[in-house]
């Protein structure tokens, strides 16, 4: 006997063998609660389970109409298995990093310590994988804002910390100019992937969760690409140019929360 | 357990009832009737789960439709050996959370909300309705994490392991949440809800105590 049998008995007002019930109650604090005071709580909860609910007759017909509209490229993309969706998003992101950061690399790359490259690469990749994984996963969604803020701190924090510890002589003598150029470069190479993320998203309306997690993945990829592409280690330049997609993300979050607050 | 049903129009024919997982596998293979059967099995449960929190039945129905639409879109994620029921409820819970996140309407369903249906008739019907309403109010006053577990178990018909899978937690954690919720419910109900049979009778669910 298990808790579901007890629950079903209350709902169906069915009798259970006393010995088996006693054996179960001896080891189950939850079901003991139900039987307290002559089974009052169990019977009251059973009332809720037997309450009738209004249910439209044609609901399946309406669903069939919506299913009939599930055609075209987006319907195909969003119905792929999640593992494939994940790969099909990760590969273009990595390709953008390679095209923008490795093939067009920073002038002082020869002096750039390999250990630092590998460390940053690992940190960013893990964060990108987490952001994409959370966006595409069908797992239960918990406290979304905790995830967003953690990723945001990450997207902004890592490049800024990196800027305070210049890797080469050239980056230590950098100036704040050219931030807009770096922002545009990062955005140009990563933002088309936002369209792909929209295509893969299974929700009918783009949620704040999707916006934030997509921006996290794109911002982190841009950070990584620009770390490899641009040798300017000036903190102001890094904040405005390299980590800027993260800042856009922060602004989107802040504005959304402000609007929500004003609507209340 | 093997269960059977009599096929419509042919009393002599006994067709096996397919499990949820068999139906889902059949749908993935292209059997559209299997999807309809899944809808018939789960839509009332989901409608009940949604209607408890949403202000209108239309909004609840819309979320039920979205749940099945999402199930259709993610059908290729379904792995053999996985149980379907917790998965459907995970989809439904995610959609419901997103709905409330978008509309910020959770708190509109206040403790004074008298939307509890009155399905009971007869001489003791009023007493049973009062008890149901008091229980509903007490449930609404619970912390969401306790309430969610109790509602999934009682009104969604999920076992505790299935609830754990649906909410992404462990069975032990889910049972602790249920226990705390039950204790709080009993405290809140206190003298206000004596139950449909008064409260001085032994439970009618145990053989030998009747």
User: What CATH number does the domain containing B86 carry?
Assistant: 1.10.1740.10
Same domain for B139 and B177?
yes
Is residue B165 one of the residues assigned to a domain? yes
To the nearest whole Å, the CA of B99 is away from the closest chain A CA by 10
Same domain for B91 and B148?
no
Same domain for B101 and B145?
no
User: Is B106 exposed, middle or buried, given 0-12, 13-18 or 19+ CB atoms closer than 10 A?
Assistant: middle
Is residue B95 one of the residues assigned to a domain? yes
Please tell me if residue B115 touches chain A, with a CB cutoff of 8 Å: no
Same domain for B102 and B147?
no
> In terms of CA atoms, which chain B residue is nearest residue A200?
B73
What pLDDT was estimated at residue B24? 94
Q: ipTM of this predicted complex?
A: 0.82
The CATH number given to whatever domain includes residue B130 is: 1.10.10.10
Please tell me if residue A53 touches chain B, with a CB cutoff of 8 Å: yes
Same domain for B102 and B25?
yes
Per-run averaged pLDDT (10 residues), chain A, 264 residues? 87 85 88 85 84 79 92 93 92 92 87 84 88 84 70 74 74 79 88 88 83 82 88 82 69 68 64
Cβ distance A67 to B72 less than 8 Å, yes or no, reads yes
Domain termination site, one of B71, B106, B141:
B106
Residue written as token pair 């609830």:
B163
* CA–CA separation, A3 and A46 (whole Å): 14
> In terms of CA atoms, which chain B residue is nearest residue A143?
B97
What pLDDT was estimated at residue B181? 92
Is residue B111 one of the residues assigned to a domain? no
CB B152 within 8 A of CB B167: yes
Query: Is the CA virtual torsion B166, B170, B173, B178 positive or negative?
Result: positive
Same domain for B132 and B176?
yes
| Residue A260 neighbours by CB distance under 10 Å | 14
DSSP structure class, residue A204: S
Instruction: Give SS3 for B5.
Output: strand
* CA–CA separation, A183 and A239 (whole Å): 10
Rounded to the nearest 5 degrees, what angle is found at the Cα of B134, between the Cα atoms of B128 and B139?
A: 125
Taking only residues 13 to 32 of chain B, the set having a beta carbon closer than 8 angstroms to any beta carbon of chain A reads none
Map out the domains of chain A as residue ranges. Answer: 3-49, 67-263
Please tell me if residue B66 touches chain A, with a CB cutoff of 8 Å: yes
Cβ distance B73 to A78 less than 8 Å, yes or no, reads yes
What pLDDT was estimated at residue B10? 58
% of chain B at pLDDT higher than 90 = 43
| Residue B28 neighbours by CB distance under 10 Å | 14
Residue numbers of the domain that contains B181:
126-196
Please tell me if residue A13 touches chain B, with a CB cutoff of 8 Å: yes
CB B129 within 8 A of CB B120: yes
* CA–CA separation, B60 and B53 (whole Å): 8
- Chain B partners of A78 at a C-beta cutoff of 8 Å? 73
pLDDT one-digit tens code per residue, B125-172: 666 677 778 888 888 889 988 999 999 999 888 999 999 999 998 999
User: In chain A, which ranges are E strands?
Assistant: none
What pLDDT was estimated at residue A108? 84
Residue written as token pair 């449930």:
B139
Is residue B80 one of the residues assigned to a domain? yes
Of B73, B98, B65, residue with least CA distance to A211: B98
Same domain for B40 and B81?
yes
Same domain for B130 and B189?
yes
Same domain for B90 and B158?
no
Cβ distance B175 to A202 less than 8 Å, yes or no, reads no
pLDDT one-digit tens code per residue, B94-134: 998 888 877 765 444 444 444 444 444 444 566 667 777 88
Cβ distance A207 to B102 less than 8 Å, yes or no, reads yes
Is residue B4 one of the residues assigned to a domain? no
**Do you know the residue count of chain B?**
210
Chain A to chain B Cβ contacts (< 8 Å): 206
Bridge partners of residue A16, in order along the sequence: B206
CB A102 within 8 A of CB A213: no
Model confidence pTM above 0.95: no
Is residue B116 one of the residues assigned to a domain? no
Q: Domain tally for chain B? A: 2
Same domain for B25 and B91?
yes
> In terms of CA atoms, which chain A residue is nearest residue B76?
A81
Please tell me if residue A208 touches chain B, with a CB cutoff of 8 Å: yes
What pLDDT was estimated at residue A72? 92
């Amino acid at each position: 006997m298990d808790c579901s049998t007890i629950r079903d008995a209350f709902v169906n007002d069915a009798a259970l063998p006393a010995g088996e019930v006693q054996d179960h109650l001896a080891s189950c604090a939850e079901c003991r609660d139900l039987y307290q005071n002559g089974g009052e709580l169990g019977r009251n909860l059973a009332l809720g389970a037997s309450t009738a609910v209004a249910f439209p007759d044609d609901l399946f017909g309406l669903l069939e109409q919506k299913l009939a509209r599930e055609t075209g490229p987006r319907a195909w993309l969003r119905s792929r298995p999640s593992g494939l969706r994940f790969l099909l998003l990760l590969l273009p992101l990595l390709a953008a990093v390679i095209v923008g950061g490795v093939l067009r690399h920073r002038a002082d790359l020869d002096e750039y310590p390999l250990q630092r490259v590998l460390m940053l690469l690992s940190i960013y990749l893990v964060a990108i994988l987490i952001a994409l994984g959370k966006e595409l996963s069908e797992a239960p969604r918990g406290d979304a804002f905790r995830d967003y803020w953690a990723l945001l701190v990450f997207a902004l924090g890592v490049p800024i910390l990196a800027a305070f510890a210049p890797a080469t002589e050239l980056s230590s003598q950098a100036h704040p100019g050219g931030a807009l150029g770096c922002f545009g470069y990062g955005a140009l190479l990563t933002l088309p992937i936002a369209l792909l993320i929209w295509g893969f998203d299974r929700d009918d309306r783009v949620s704040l969760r999707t916006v934030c997690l997509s921006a996290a993945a794109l911002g982190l990829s841009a950070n990584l690409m620009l770390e490899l592409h641009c040798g300017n280690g000036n903190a102001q330049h890094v904040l405005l140019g390299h980590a800027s997609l993260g800042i856009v993300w922060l602004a989107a979050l802040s504005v959304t929360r402000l609007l929500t607050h004003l609507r209340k | 357990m093997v269960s059977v049903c009599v096929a419509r129009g042919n009393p002599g024919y006994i067709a096996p009832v397919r499990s949820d997982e068999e139906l889902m596998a059949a749908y993935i293979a292209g059997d559209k009737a299997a999807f309809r059967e899944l809808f018939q099995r789960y839509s009332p449960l989901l409608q009940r789960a949604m209607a408890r929190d949403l202000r209108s039945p239309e909004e609840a129905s819309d979320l039920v439709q979205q749940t099945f639409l999402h199930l259709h879109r993610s059908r290729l994620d379904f792995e053999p050996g996985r149980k379907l029921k917790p998965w459907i409820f995970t989809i439904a819970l995610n959609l419901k959370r997103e709905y409330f996140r978008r509309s910020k309407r959770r708190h509109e369903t206040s403790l004074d909300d008298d939307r509890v249906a009155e399905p009971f008739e007869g001489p003791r019907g009023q007493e049973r309705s009062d008890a149901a309403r008091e229980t509903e109010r007490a449930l609404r006053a619970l912390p969401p994490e306790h309430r969610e577990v109790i509602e999934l178990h009682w009104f969604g018909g999920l076992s505790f392991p299935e609830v754990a899978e649906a909410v992404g937690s462990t069975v032990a954690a889910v049972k602790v949440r249920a226990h705390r919720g039950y204790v709080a419910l009993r405290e809140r109900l206190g003298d206000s809800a004596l139950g449909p049979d008064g409260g001085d009778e032994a439970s009618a669910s145990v053989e030998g105590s009747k």
